[in-house]
């Protein structure tokens, strides 16, 4: 049975509605991880380290897609809640077209700057060539990748979360199969991984364009739309937290790599790559829940349904707390197995990675509340608070502790940096929850 944004949500109904978004994010993370898995085991740790060195630059340029998707879906869902369906379609269409144009522009910038960016991120010798090779190929599909990030949010707003899941699965299977063929069978090495990623991003980003361009059964459809600077600016402002999150993560990841090159060399960067892949999968549960629940929150906020906002807020905090404890226990228990999958071929690297995973895993206990908190205020069209949470969590606190903790704890300080930053951010998030509870009537 189809669940509508306007309904009253129980735990069961809420989980049914957000489940496709969670699986979609997990699957998207997994097929990104497959690149690293194949490259590490079939091409070697130097190529594996190269992907992790250049990834912050790639993700930094693609961050606009996340911004428009989250910021725009909040505006569109609020407009739907106000009963203005035609206007919602115009906003949706304009934002998709803006993303496509922006994707082409940023792809060109990426192709021009890939070599100096690689050097600035700490690459040298063979690492530079590998970074440039991987980056140039993946930038060819930057526009579809940005569209894919936008549609992840809009599929939920259109009340088609399952279709969004199916698209993500198709893109993921495409990447996995092509990774196997291009790397393991054809032995194209790092180039094969990049080509597989690019083709899978085309599947994930271009199919939704075809779907929404035609008559469909969802709430949204691509129509003729003029540039609305006010809505575009509001979208960017409202989604600035997601932009800040991705840009900050890119900067912070670069800092991690620079510190790790200093303390542990190439092994440290490779170990961090494994941690990031595990983190992508685990944190995708929180990101998926946030994407899936944001349109519901935005709709009921637009409709002035305060009782349902209270209900959603309470259930969300409960679920995130349960998942946080569970993920911590899983990560601590599975650390040896996870390390072995990626770097089991190197005893020293395995030992470093296993310890790193167990220390880093402490962040899963608290980061879900911060991720949801930022998304929650985005859904309420309060981009300033949302951006503040993201900015402090992903840049200010993390950058500070990455530089300070290693002075006292050595390399362990690097692995504990994320958990420390999230703990500090949680204090801020709780403060914002308490301060704004009467303004939005969610508690």
Burial class (CB in 10 A: 0-12, 13-18, 19+), 336: middle
45 pLDDT band, cuts 50/70/90, is confident
- Give me the mean pLDDT over the 279-308 stretch: 91
pLDDT in tens, 211-227: 999 999 999 999 999 99
- Mind giving me the DSSP string for 392-439? IIIIIIHHHHHHHHHHHHTHHHHHTHHHHHHHHHHHHHHHHHHHTHHH
The percent of residues in the chain predicted with pLDDT above 70, rounded, is: 98
Does the structure show a pLDDT above 80 at 319?
yes
- Residue reference for tokens 């989604």: 239
**pTM of the predicted structure, to 2 decimals:** 0.76
The distance from CA 58 to its chain's CA centroid, rounded to whole angstroms, is 13
The stretch 379-399 carries a mean pLDDT of: 88
> Which has the closest alpha carbon to 441: 317, 296, 298, 304?
304
Exposed/middle/buried for 104, CB within 10 Å: 0-12, 13-18, 19+? exposed
Cα–Cα distance for residue pair 52/275, rounded to 1 Å: 11
Give 78-96 pLDDT, tens digit per residue: 899 888 999 999 999 999 9
Residues in the chain: 443
User: How does the average pLDDT of the chain come out, rounded?
Assistant: 90
Q: What percent of the chain has pLDDT over 90?
A: 59
Q: Extract the runs of DSSP E, i.e. beta strands, from 132-208.
A: none
User: Is pLDDT above 80 for 324?
Assistant: yes
pLDDT recorded at residue 11: 94
CA-closest candidate to residue 156, choices 165, 148, 147? 165
Q: Look at residue 1 in the predicted model and tell me its pLDDT.
A: 56
User: In this structure, how many other beta carbons lie within 10 angstroms of the beta carbon of residue 79?
Assistant: 23
- CB contact at 8 A, 118 and 128: yes
Sign of CA dihedral 100, 105, 109, 112: positive
Does residue 247 have a pLDDT over 80? no
- Helix H segments across 39-84? 45-81
Burial of 324 (0-12, 13-18, 19+ CB in 10 A): buried
Helix (H, G, I), strand (E, B) or coil at 131: helix
pLDDT digits (tens, 9 = 90+) for 166-187: 998 899 899 989 999 999 999 9
Q: Are 394 and 244 in contact (CB under 8 A)?
A: yes
What confidence score (pLDDT) does residue 66 get? Answer: 78
Under the phi-then-psi rule, with left for phi > 0, alpha for psi from -120 to 50, and beta for the rest, what region is 304? left
C-alpha–C-alpha distance, residues 417 and 397, integer Å = 9
Q: For residue 221, which of 133, 162, 157 has the smallest C-alpha distance?
A: 157
The residue with tokens 């949500």 is 9
* The pLDDT of residue 237: 83
Measured CA to CA, the distance from residue 237 to residue 244 in angstroms comes to: 11
CA 70 to chain centre: 11
Distance CA 271, CA 354 (A): 9
Q: What tokens does 214 get?
A: 């035609």
Q: Print burial letters for 170-187: b (CB count within 10 Å at least 16), e (below 16).
A: ebbebbbebbbebbeeee
Cβ burial, residue 402 (10 Å; 0-12/13-18/19+): buried
Give the angle 93-306-319 at the CA atoms, nearest 5°: 80
């Amino acid at each position: 049975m189809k669940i509508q944004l306007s309904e009253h949500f129980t735990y069961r109904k809420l989980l049914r509605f957000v489940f496709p978004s969670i699986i979609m994010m997990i699957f998207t993370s997994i097929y990104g991880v497959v690149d690293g898995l194949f490259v590490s085991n079939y091409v070697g740790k130097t190529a594996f380290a190269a992907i992790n060195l250049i990834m912050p630059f790639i993700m930094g340029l693609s961050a606009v897609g996340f911004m428009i998707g989250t910021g725009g879906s909040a505006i569109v869902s609020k407009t739907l809640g106000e009963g203005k369906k035609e206007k919602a379609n115009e906003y949706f269409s304009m934002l998709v077209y803006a993303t496509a144009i922006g994707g082409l522009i940023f792809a060109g910038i990426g192709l021009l700057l890939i070599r100096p960016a690689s050097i600035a991120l700490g690459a040298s010798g063979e690492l530079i060539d590998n970074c440039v090779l991987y980056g140039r190929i993946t930038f060819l599909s930057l526009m579809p990748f940005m569209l894919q990030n936008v549609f992840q949010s809009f599929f939920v707003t259109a009340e088609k979360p399952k279709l969004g899941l199916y698209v993500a699965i198709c893109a993921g299977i495409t990447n996995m199969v092509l990774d196997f063929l291009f790397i393991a069978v054809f032995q194209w090495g790092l180039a094969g991984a990049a080509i597989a990623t690019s083709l899978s991003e085309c599947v994930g980003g271009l199919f939704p364009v075809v779907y929404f361009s035609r008559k469909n059964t969802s709430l949204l459809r691509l129509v003729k739309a003029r540039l609305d600077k006010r809505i575009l600016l509001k979208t960017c402002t409202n989604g600035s937290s997601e932009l800040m999150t991705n840009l900050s993560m890119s900067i912070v990841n670069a800092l991690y790599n620079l510190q790790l090159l200093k303390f542990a060399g190439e092994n440290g960067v490779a170990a961090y790559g494994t941690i990031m892949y595990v983190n992508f999968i685990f944190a995708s549960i929180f990101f998926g829940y946030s994407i899936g629940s944001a349109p519901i929150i935005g709709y009921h906020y637009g409709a002035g349904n305060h009782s349902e906002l209270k209900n959603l807020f309470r259930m969300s905090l409960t679920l995130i707390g349960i998942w946080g404890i569970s993920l911590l226990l899983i990560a601590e228990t599975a650390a040896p197995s996870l390390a072995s999958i990626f770097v089991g071929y190197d005893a020293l690297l395995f030992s470093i990675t296993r310890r790193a995973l167990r220390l880093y895993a402490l962040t899963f206990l608290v980061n879900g509340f911060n991720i949801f908190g930022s998304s929650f205020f985005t859904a309420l069209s309060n981009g300033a608070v949302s951006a503040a949470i993201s900015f402090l969590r992903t840049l200010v606190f993390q950058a500070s502790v990455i530089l300070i903790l290693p002075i006292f704890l050595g390399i362990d300080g690097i692995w504990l940096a994320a958990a420390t930053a999230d703990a500090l951010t949680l204090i801020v998030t709780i403060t914002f929850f308490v301060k704004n509870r009467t303004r939005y009537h969610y508690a």
